Structures are given as structure tokens and as C-alpha cells.
Structure 1
């Protein structure tokens, strides 16, 4: 039995020696070893990146040595315990874990032309112009009342003469598109504030909304045109639909995690 164990030990020893020989140490930096396999991996990755300098193993190794030295210095200065650094490290771990858990499901996402058509039916693309009366996200009462008063004054003027929209936009709108009559061009629904899109959805070209409040302030919106589904950027909308399907997977993933966790929330502080 002892002889068998000795033979096994010898075999393991030869295997370790062989493995070390096949992956020798290229450099040692203050006790930290850089193996041949690590250098080869980084070298191949660097070859895929366009650079002004010729990629050589010597240059790649120098960058690896610099990285080790930088990390060592950071630890010596206690940066690994710095609250800001720890938060960034936790962000990396968070995204890495979610990616690891969900990658198989995300790879199975398929977006068809029918998916795009279904989405676009509910979220058509409008070309709009708007007059913006800016307010803070959480305005004081007098600030909101003043903005509301001015917005409805302009809206009443537009009800009397809709053709004045460009003129009034140029005069009152607090946004860079004001000189162009407030025209922001065609925009996918996802690029618009939810309240903004809800105010124009289903309305005809030429329609002017009453003042609509969003996080940016008060908007008076005019529909200038509506794009047909056959004229949209199909690749863009496939990306939009993909993102929606991905977000549904993420919601289900975190819903499951929350249900399995012990979570206590003070709802009074949410008011």
C-alpha cells in the first residue's frame, strides 16, 4: 500500500514539474509571478487592438509589470479600503455576477420582424416641436405656479392661432431648439419623457397638447409628422426590442432574488 502511495506521489510530482515547465515564470515583480500563459493571453488581446506602437511581447510584459506595480502601490496606500474604490469594486462584482448568471438566457433572446412591428404599433415615431418652460425637478410652489401661468398663456394664444407655434417657441422656449421653432425631429418613444410621449400618442399630425409636466419642466408639444413602420431604422428598433426583452429577464431575476432574501423597508421614509 505504501509503495502504491509513493508511486502516486512521484507521478503527481512529475506532473507538477511538467506543468511548471510548460508554463514558466516570465517575470517576478516584488514576489508576484507573471506566467508565460498570462503573457501570451495579453499579447494576443493586444494584437486585436489598433495602436500607434508595434505590439511586442516585451511591450506587453512591461504593461503587465506596470499594472502589478500600480496594484501593489494602491494596496500599500490602503486604496483597497477606500470607500469610493470599494464602491467601484462592488459595481464590477455586481455586473460580473449578473452577467454570469444571465448570459445563457440572454444568448437565447431572438428579435423577429413581427416583434418590431408589434412594438412599433404601440410606440410609433413622431416628429415633434415643443415649447419648454423649465422648472427644477422638485420646484417650489411659487416657481411651479409661475411656470404654469406662463405656459397656459402661451397655450391659449396657440389655440387662437396654431400657426404662431414657431414664433412663440423662439420667444419662450428655454431649450436649444427654440430658434428652430422647437423642432426636435423624429424621435423613438424611448428618447422622450414618458409623460411627453403619452400626451401625443394616438393624436393626429398638427395636434398641440396642453402644458405637460415632466422632470424637465412644462412642455407644449406639437405633432409635426408621424413615421410609417416601413420607413423606420429596423436595426435600431431591433436593438430597442432586444433591450426590452433583456430588461424583462433582469426584472424576473431580481424579483426571484428579492423573494429569497430577507428585506426590511421603512416605507415611511419613501413618502
Structure 2
């Protein structure tokens, strides 16, 4: 057996041992108390429904471009067609500006405030954010409540296990002396 073979076997041994340790950490069932803590952090214990919005937008660089789009829309142009043609947002532009469902806190403040003040089917005046100028169309809104604890208990358990593994790895990294050799 040459030096390369020995090094590969040693790496395999270490990987196996590390995997076994992490499996042991992940295998411990989370307590109900841990799960409820994660649930509270994720959903804040809120039982009141939150409003979600489904909107589309056209993002451009200047206010003049946004005003020109606003005028085209007022003249009967199709929002989706204009979004596909003119939006600089490479993610939503090709999808007719569709942003899908979101809660206001997921968006930058000026955008969120504009959407909160709109009615379904309405198109906004140009809105400036750090990304540029938006013309927004609110498709619809809905009220959603936090999921019941029992509905998400299994997903929370997966999250607890993942967090434990990440914490264990970080503890080991923090306690290790890592030397990097120049290539």
C-alpha cells in the first residue's frame, strides 16, 4: 500500500467517524419543549391572521421609464407583456413580473407600503427603492394564520436536529487549530 492509499483510507476513516458522531447528535429526539421554542421563534405565538399579497411588478432604472410604463398601462397595455419586455428584474420579468405570494416584511419598506395601500387589480404609481423604480400590480391578497403546532411538529423536529448538527460542527471548528498550507 502506497502513501496515497494510506491517506485516502485515513480520510475515509475520519469521514466515517465524523458522520457517526453527527448521526448520534441528530438521532436524539427533540423534546416537546424544544419544539415549542422553535415554533414560538418561527411564528411568534401569533394566532391572528397575517395578510399575504400576490403581486407583479415592472422594475426599471429611472423614474421617467416608470412613468412611461404607467402611461402605457393607462392606455390599455398588458401588464405582463410590458413586464416581460421592459423589466430589469431578471427573476420576475420573464414571468410577466410575477412575484408570487409574500408578506410585507419580505419586501423593502417602500414596496411593502405601496402594496399594503392597494386594492386587488390596482396598479401603483412609480415606487422608488434601492433597486430602482417599480410599477406594481396587486393581483390579490389573503389572510393566513400561523400553522397549528401539530401540523408543523415534524418539520420543527428536522430543524432542531439540523441546528444541533450545525452547532456541534461550529463548536468543533471553533475549538480547532486550523493550519492552511500554501499550495
- Shorter-chain TM-score tier: 0.5 to 0.7
Decide which structure has the larger Cα Rg and report it: 1
Q: Deviations over 1:189-220 (max 9, x none)?
A: 22111110100104211111111001111100
Gaps of 5+ in 1: 1-44, 52-105, 135-146, 239-271
- Alignment CA distance shift 1:229-1:193 (3 Å): same
Tell me the CA shift for residue 157 of structure 1. 1.2
- Alignment CA distance shift 1:203-1:233 (3 Å): farther
When the two chains are superposed, the root-mean-square deviation of aligned CA atoms in Å is: 3.1
Q: Deviations over 1:91-127 (max 9, x none)?
A: xxxxxxxxxxxxxxx99x6843xx2416x2xxx1101
> In structure 1, what is the equivalent of residue 80 of structure 2?
166
CA distance in structure 2 between the partners assigned to 1:170 and 1:180 by the alignment? 7
- Alignment CA distance shift 1:216-1:116 (3 Å): farther
Larger helix proportion, structure 1 or 2? 1
CA distance in structure 2 between the partners assigned to 1:234 and 1:164 by the alignment? 40
Is the aligned partner of 1:151 residue 2:71? no
> In structure 1, what is the equivalent of residue 112 of structure 2?
197
Structure with more contact order per residue of length (Cα contacts < 8 Å, sep ≥ 6): 2
Equivalence map 1:132-143=2 (5 Å)? 132-134=59-61
Tell me the CA shift for residue 129 of structure 1. 0.4
Q: Deviations over 1:218-258 (max 9, x none)?
A: 1001011212325x6667xx9xxxxxxxxxxxxxxxxxxxx
Equivalence map 1:1-271=2 (5 Å)? 47-50=20-23, 111-112=44-45, 115-117=46-48, 120=50, 124-134=51-61, 147-161=62-76, 164-176=78-90, 177-230=92-145
TM-score w.r.t. the length of structure 1 is 0.38
Contact kept in structure 1, 2:59 and 2:132, CA below 8 Å: yes
Residue 139 of structure 2 aligns to a residue in which SS? strand
Larger strand proportion, structure 1 or 2? 2
CA distance in structure 2 between the partners assigned to 1:159 and 1:46 by the alignment? 61
Tell me the CA shift for residue 172 of structure 1. 0.6
Count of aligned residue pairs for this structure pair: 118
TM-score w.r.t. the length of structure 2 is 0.55
> In structure 1, what is the equivalent of residue 168 of structure 2?
none
CA distance in structure 2 between the partners assigned to 1:205 and 1:234 by the alignment? 28
